[in-house]
Amino acid sequence: MTIGIDKISFHVPDYYLDMTDLAHARETDPAKFHIGLGQDQMALIPKTQDIITLGASAAAKILTADDKKMIDMVIVGTESSTDFSKSAAVTIHKLLDIQPFARSFEIKHACYGGTAALQQARDYVAAHPDRKVLVIAADIAKYGLHSGGEPTQGCGAVAMLVTKNPHLLAFNNDSVFYSEDVYDFWRPAGHDYPLVDGHLSNQIYIDSFTRIWEQNKKINQTTSSDYAALTFHLPYTKMGRKALRAIFPEMSETEQQRLETRYDEAIIYSRQVGNLYTGSLYLGLASLLDNSKLAAGERIGLFSYGSGAVSEFFSMTLMEDYQQYLSIEENQLLLSKRKRLSITEYEEMFAEKLPTDGKTYTFSDPTKFAINKISDNIRYYNK
């Protein structure tokens, strides 16, 4: 039986910061951000929106009434949870009117959570072939104003519907995993922002990829030529490029160019959004599907990395006529219609937080699924 991603969509808020503006404000050469990190814009989120807003908005674009009757699980991969106990998934389940006899829960391991959710979805559909699973990878990457990680912030959500006989991509059941207990990036309880050893995190990312790539070659008996494209977790777009180039010595120059061209197509959206932690790999996948001319039957490799560190490499095969099931214009419009904020507006938006005193406050953000009230520390959302 073929199982895979039947539909994919993403959502980002209506605001962004241009990286040249950030560079000028931080007295940095703009080339460091645009070329050195590979980022042109950074998605910004107001206090009236959170991962529930982002995740519900992404999923609402792809779900039909029939899908909502067939979904047995809603899994949210995130490291930006709004609650240590209640999951974002159960609120999204309600906002989207998914049939009530469903499992809804959150999965966490840094930027790896979305992949854990996706693989769990695959296993569920293998056991229940007529049912569907909604996977959402949603995050808000914030490191703090003037911090080393500031130019690698961002936010957004990717939603994927996992079914049998999918329209887009089929799993090949060839996952290879790797775990290493390391403190490159972590966020202990009580910390608003992660603690991060940036240069160590870059090194562990590359080491994890090269190790898992070797293991993949051994276990799955593949070489780079078996993949039409290799996609990567994208904390900033230069990161995946560095990992890809780490395996260039084993390839011809033509092969290097082929994979780097596909890589450039896979980072078009991320260059405009920045890091969405667990959604970043899948925003890259969406960008590849929308911007590459690939053929049915071709195989795409996916490298998922979650600091701390867990990584996974797996592949998916493109389905017949997959192009018909993409929303390319809608995705491009979502990015192009956003409002560019000034540095002052960005810093003000960054500093604003929802109150935590338990009193009642109302808000008037008209955005679909935005927070319209907080009371007793319960968030209420537009529907």
> Which residues form the catalytic set?
79, 111, 233
3 state DSSP class of 339: strand
Closer CB to ligand CAA, residue 10 or residue 205? 205
- Answer for which of 2, 24, 29, 373 binds ligand CAA (CB under 6 A) is 29
For residue 156, list its beta bridge partners.
139
Question: Rule CB under 6 A: is residue 277 a binding residue for ligand CAA?
Answer: yes
Closer CB to ligand CAA, residue 202 or residue 222? 202
Burial status of residue 68 (CB atoms within 10 A of its CB: 0-12, 13-18, 19 or more): middle
Q: What is the DSSP string of 169-196?
A: EEE-S--EEEE----SEE--TT-SS-EE
Handedness of CA 357, 358, 359, 360 (dihedral sign): positive
Instruction: Report in angstroms how near the CB of residue 277 gets to ligand CAA at its nearest.
Output: 5
Q: 97: number of CA atoms within 13 Å, CB side? A: 7
Answer yes or no: are the C-beta atoms of 172 and 216 closer than 8 Å: no
Residue among 233, 276, 302, 278 at smallest CA distance from 108: 278
Question: Rule CB under 6 A: is residue 111 a binding residue for ligand CAA?
Answer: yes
Closer CB to ligand CAA, residue 270 or residue 382? 270
Contacts of 376 (CB under 8 A, 6+ apart): 358, 360
Closer CB to ligand CAA, residue 186 or residue 380? 186
- Answer for which of 16, 124, 205, 227 binds ligand CAA (CB under 6 A) is 205
Closer CB to ligand CAA, residue 149 or residue 166? 149
The mark string for 173-202 relative to ligand CAA (x by CB under 6 A, - otherwise) is: ------------x----------x-xx-xx
Closer CB to ligand CAA, residue 180 or residue 321? 180
What residues between 112 and 141 interact with ligand CAA by CB under 6 A? none
- What CA–CA distance (Å, rounded) separates 33 from 41? 9
- What is the C-alpha R_g of the chain? 20
In the block, tokens 């955005």 appear at 367
Question: Rule CB under 6 A: is residue 31 a binding residue for ligand CAA?
Answer: yes
Instruction: Report in angstroms how near the CB of residue 140 gets to ligand CAA at its nearest.
Output: 12
Nearest residue by C-beta to ligand CAA?
Answer: 36
Instruction: Report in angstroms how near the CB of residue 158 gets to ligand CAA at its nearest.
Output: 14
Contacts of 64 (CB under 8 A, 6+ apart): none
Instruction: Report in angstroms how near the CB of residue 200 gets to ligand CAA at its nearest.
Output: 9
- Answer for which of 129, 148, 297, 355 binds ligand CAA (CB under 6 A) is 148
The one segment of 84-92, 170-178, 232-240, 281-289 that binds ligand CAA by CB under 6 A: 232-240
- Answer for which of 209, 305, 313, 346 binds ligand CAA (CB under 6 A) is 305
- What CA–CA distance (Å, rounded) separates 139 from 157? 6
Structure tokens, 83: 């609650």
Instruction: Report in angstroms how near the CB of residue 102 gets to ligand CAA at its nearest.
Output: 29
- What CA–CA distance (Å, rounded) separates 274 from 156? 9
In the block, tokens 């230069």 appear at 238
In the block, tokens 């079914």 appear at 163
- What CA–CA distance (Å, rounded) separates 316 from 160? 14
Instruction: Report in angstroms how near the CB of residue 137 gets to ligand CAA at its nearest.
Output: 12
Question: Rule CB under 6 A: is residue 263 a binding residue for ligand CAA?
Answer: no
Cα 44 to chain centroid distance, Å, stands at 15
- Answer for which of 58, 136, 239, 243 binds ligand CAA (CB under 6 A) is 239
Angle 328-336/280-291 helices, nearest 10 degrees? 120
Instruction: Report in angstroms how near the CB of residue 55 gets to ligand CAA at its nearest.
Output: 18
The one segment of 33-41, 92-100, 264-272, 358-366 that binds ligand CAA by CB under 6 A: 33-41
Handedness of CA 316, 320, 325, 326 (dihedral sign): positive
The one segment of 83-91, 233-241, 248-256, 332-340 that binds ligand CAA by CB under 6 A: 233-241
Contact set with ligand CAA (CB under 6 A): 29, 31-32, 35-37, 111, 148-149, 151-152, 185, 196, 198-199, 201-202, 205, 233, 235-236, 238-239, 275, 277, 305, 307
